[in-house]
Amino acid sequence: MSRTRIAVFGVGYMGNFHAQKFAAIADAELIAVADADATRAAEVAAQLNCEHTADYRTLLPRIDAACVAVPTERHHEVVRACLEAGVHVLVEKPLARTLEEADEMLALARAKGKVLQVGHLQRFNPAFEALAAEAAKPLFIDIERLAPFKARGTDVDVILDLMIHDLDLALALARAPIEQVSAAGFRVLTGAIDIANARLEFADGAIASLSASRVSQAPVRKLRVFRRDGYVSADLQGQKLRFVRRGSDGSIEQMEQSFERRDELQAQAEAFVRAVRGGAAPQASGEQGRQVLALALQVARLVDERLARHG
């Protein structure tokens, strides 16, 4: 089978990294990069020895798959054009701005028989994969993601920028329908929500508490899962798990499990290529991306309603 011809649309901060990863895959050929900033596109193309253009549409007849890393407000436009041209798509999160846009993209992907994968990167973290594979039922999931302020990503609020990653992880860990959602958040440095907290209550009694901030002084990344047999603390950056359990003699036992370091972005790119080539279903499908988007939009709506009540 010939190599899968791929282009990356949008080569800003994340798109540049995506292009590097696809250029390194043996079964793929990075044909070109496209960006509205023609100078930026030319710089990235020169580094990766591929073509470049300011108009992504000119590439559609020549490629099998595309990585879409343009700003969120353009996801619907660009993904739709790709799918209509019969091109498989990996799109950065969030899938779309609205559920209506997401539903149209999903329907088009099904009609065309094309892969639509969403860039929920933490799904490819080996520590999280091991944690999610464990059979023990979570009682309480505690996730915290705090980051210093950066202008990049402020085209959406902190819920669609940062918290959406952890909403995806919470859904994957809980594996039960959500019965109730409550949320609070505040504007601090931008006109959008910069800090937020959400509480999810699941049908089986499990609860998840998620906090996200993009206005913190220092980065913080925590994920803990409490169960009847103890709790697990996940160091996703270090790609390791720490287990705390009560031993048979009543003592507290601690164990750490480390994993071989994995480049999550490279793993995501390789999984997408495998899906395109018929080897496997996407690990973060368009349907899953739509489910997480719906939850994120619900959290954002609850935050807005609370702010309207309390000022």
Q: What is the pLDDT of residue 184?
A: 96
Domains 4-122+265-280 and 126-261+296-310 share a fold: no
- For the stretch 34-93, pLDDT in tens is 999 999 999 999 999 999 999 999 999 999 999 999 999 999 999 999 999 999 999 999
- The share of the chain scoring above pLDDT 90, in percent, equals 85
Least confident interval from 20-24, 59-63, 105-109, 282-286: 282-286
C-alpha distances out from residue 66 to 2, 60, 121, 241, Å? 16, 9, 17, 34
**Under CATH, what is the fold of the domain 4-122+265-280?**
Rossmann fold (3.40.50)
- pLDDT of 283: 83
Listed by start position, the domains of the chain span 4-122+265-280, 126-261+296-310
Using alpha carbons, select from 150, 72, 82, 120 the residue that is nearest to residue 272.
120
Whether 303 contacts 184, CB under 8 Å: yes
Task: Give the per-residue pLDDT at 154.
Answer: 66
CATH tag, 126-261+296-310: 3.30.360.10
d(CA 75, CA 14): 14
Average pLDDT of the segment spanning 205-221: 92
Nearest to 121 by CA among 142, 93, 97: 93
List helix spans (H) across the chain: 13-23, 38-48, 75-84, 99-112, 126-133, 158, 164-174, 264-276, 286-310
Residue 236, classed as helix, strand or coil, is coil
pLDDT of 250 above 90 = no
Do the Cβ atoms of 193 and 303 come closer than 8 Å? yes
Whether the CB-CB separation of 105 and 117 falls below 8 Å is answered with no
Coil/strand/helix, residue 146: strand
- pLDDT value for 311: 64
Residue 282 contacts residue 87 (beta carbons within 8 Å): no
Report the percent of the chain where pLDDT is more than 70.
97
Q: What share of the chain is helix, strand, coil (3-state, %, to 5)?
A: 40, 30, 30
The structure tokens listed for 205 are: 């009694």
> Could you report the per-residue pLDDT of 89-131, keeping only the tens digit for each?
999 999 999 999 999 999 999 999 999 999 999 999 999 999 9
Residue type, 51: E
Residue 134 has pLDDT above 60, yes or no: yes
Q: Compute the mean pLDDT over every residue in the chain, rounded to the nearest whole number.
A: 94
Summarize pLDDT for 143-176 with one digit per residue, the tens.
Answer: 999 988 887 656 789 999 899 999 999 999 998 9
Instruction: Write down the pLDDT at residue 150.
Output: 81
Q: For the chain, how far is it from start to end, CA to CA, in angstroms?
A: 60
Question: Per-residue pLDDT for 279 more than 90?
Answer: no
